[in-house]
């Protein structure tokens, strides 16, 4: 059988893969470990720029800026507050070898690098309210800061492409809530999209595929992603017109997700048969014609026995119904 990597890349090329891919982001993602969030001398978790992070059991491990603490309280003073890590001393061949060995057996799986999240940089550095105010009141300063950050992020992307041999670059950001985007299309095109484009161009020039992460009702931005070379979107949440997007783009933009990951079907207390039936409907809705990556998952603490039970059901439906879909339908 074709490898999981080659099968997944078929989907990103707009082909119908041999079997229906399951997008296993957490297993496939790789990155530069020395730039990941880490503990400082007093035990706080901080990101590479010094933002203090916090997590809760309900967030399933996802970290966000610690409430009440900001890195930049005045966008006009970002040059004094924002410090880019000095990576000039790093032996990149050695670092990449170490990071990839830590992942274990990577034969047959795609390697994905993540870089970008420009809107999130603004609100993570400043708090959500102050970040939005800065975007509205001082767009030139916001652009200048993001341009500075982009040079650093592009440097890391070049490292991942050269030394980590990634197959895909994912441009992550969260530019929308469940009902609407956080910023206007005009603001997005002026302050955010130019940096996505630079990442996409760097990847495409090196034969690297480009995907996009964006939660919420971000469908208004989809055309711009396709225009810069994005060929898959995750998690493609259900508040978007996913049927319309699939009809418009077909296999040109794969939907990696489309699962109701915040609704009752994903809750730990969901009825098992209800979950199973919804999974069948999910696959039947998005699999025909290709351009679909299975990404169903339960919502809850992974240690919860009910969540483990739901994951086992999802695994079963994927292996026995979704995965062989293109051979059985």
pLDDT in tens, 186-238: 999 999 999 999 999 999 999 999 999 999 999 999 999 999 999 999 999 99
Structural domain boundaries of the chain?
26-231
Tokens encoding 30:
């790789």
Residue 57 pLDDT > 80: no
- pLDDT (0 to 100) of residue 54: 86
Q: What is the mean pLDDT of the chain?
A: 95
Residue 290: CB partners within 8 Å, gap ≥ 6? 11, 14, 15, 16, 17, 250, 251, 254, 326
- pLDDT (0 to 100) of residue 209: 98
Rounded to whole angstroms, the Cα distance separating 225 from 132 reads 22
Cis peptide preceding 84, ω within 30 of 0: no
DSSP classification of residue 61: T
Tokens encoding 260:
């109701």
Q: Are strands 168-172 and 209-213 parallel, antiparallel or unpaired?
A: parallel
Rounded to whole angstroms, the Cα distance separating 141 from 321 reads 52
Residue 60 pLDDT > 70: no
Rounded to whole angstroms, the Cα distance separating 296 from 278 reads 10
Rounded to whole angstroms, the Cα distance separating 238 from 244 reads 12
Q: Is the distance from CB of 217 to CB of 240 less than 8 angstroms?
A: yes
φ and ψ of 256, to 5 deg: -105, 90
The pTM is what?
Answer: 0.95
Distance of CA 143 to the CA centre of its chain: 22
The CATH code of domain 26-231 reads 3.20.20.210
Residue 267: CB partners within 8 Å, gap ≥ 6? 298, 299, 300
Residue 63 pLDDT > 90: no
Q: Is the distance from CB of 239 to CB of 213 less than 8 angstroms?
A: no
Rounded to whole angstroms, the Cα distance separating 94 from 298 reads 37
- Give the model's confidence band at 62: pLDDT under 50 very low, under 70 low, under 90 confident, else very high: confident
- CA distances for 115 relative to 152, 190, 221, 231, angstroms: 10, 19, 18, 16
Longest dimension (CA), the chain: 60
- Give the model's confidence band at 58: pLDDT under 50 very low, under 70 low, under 90 confident, else very high: low
233-289: per-residue pLDDT in tens? 999 999 999 999 999 999 999 999 999 999 999 999 999 999 999 999 999 999 999
């Amino acid at each position: 059988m074709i490898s999981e990597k080659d099968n997944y890349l078929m989907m990103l090329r707009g082909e119908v893969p041999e079997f229906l891919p399951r997008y296993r982001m957490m297993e496939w993602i790789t990155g530069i470990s020395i730039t990941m969030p880490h503990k400082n001398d007093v035990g706080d978790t901080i990101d590479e720029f010094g933002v203090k992070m916090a997590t809760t059991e309900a967030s399933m491990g996802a970290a966000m800026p610690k409430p009440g603490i900001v890195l930049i309280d005045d966008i006009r003073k970002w040059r004094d507050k924002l410090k880019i890590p000095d990576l000039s001393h790093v032996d990149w061949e050695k670092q990449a070898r170490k990071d990839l060995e830590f992942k274990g057996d990577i034969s047959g799986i795609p390697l994905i690098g993540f870089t970008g999240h420009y809107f999130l940089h603004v609100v993570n550095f400043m708090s959500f309210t102050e970040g939005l105010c800065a975007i509205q009141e001082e767009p030139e300063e916001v652009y200048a800061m993001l341009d500075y950050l982009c040079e650093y992020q592009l440097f890391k992307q070049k490292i991942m492409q050269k030394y980590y041999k990634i197959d895909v670059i994912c441009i992550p950001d969260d530019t929308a809530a469940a009902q609407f985007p956080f910023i206007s299309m005009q603001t997005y095109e002026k302050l955010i999209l130019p940096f996505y484009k630079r990442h996409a161009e760097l990847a495409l020039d090196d034969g690297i595929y480009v995907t996009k992460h964006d939660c919420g009702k971000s469908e208004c931005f989809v055309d711009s992603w396709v225009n810069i070379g994005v060929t898959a979107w995750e998690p493609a949440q259900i508040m978007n017109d996913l049927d319309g997007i699939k009809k418009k783009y077909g296999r040109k933009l794969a939907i990696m997700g489309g699962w109701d990951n915040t609704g009752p079907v994903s809750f730990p207390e969901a009825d098992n048969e209800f979950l199973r039936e919804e999974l069948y409907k999910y696959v039947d809705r998005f699999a025909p014609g290709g351009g679909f990556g299975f990404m169903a998952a339960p919502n809850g603490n992974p240690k919860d026995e009910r969540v483990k039970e739901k994951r086992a059901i999802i695994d079963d439906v994927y292996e026995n119904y979704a995965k062989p879909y293109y051979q059985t339908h």
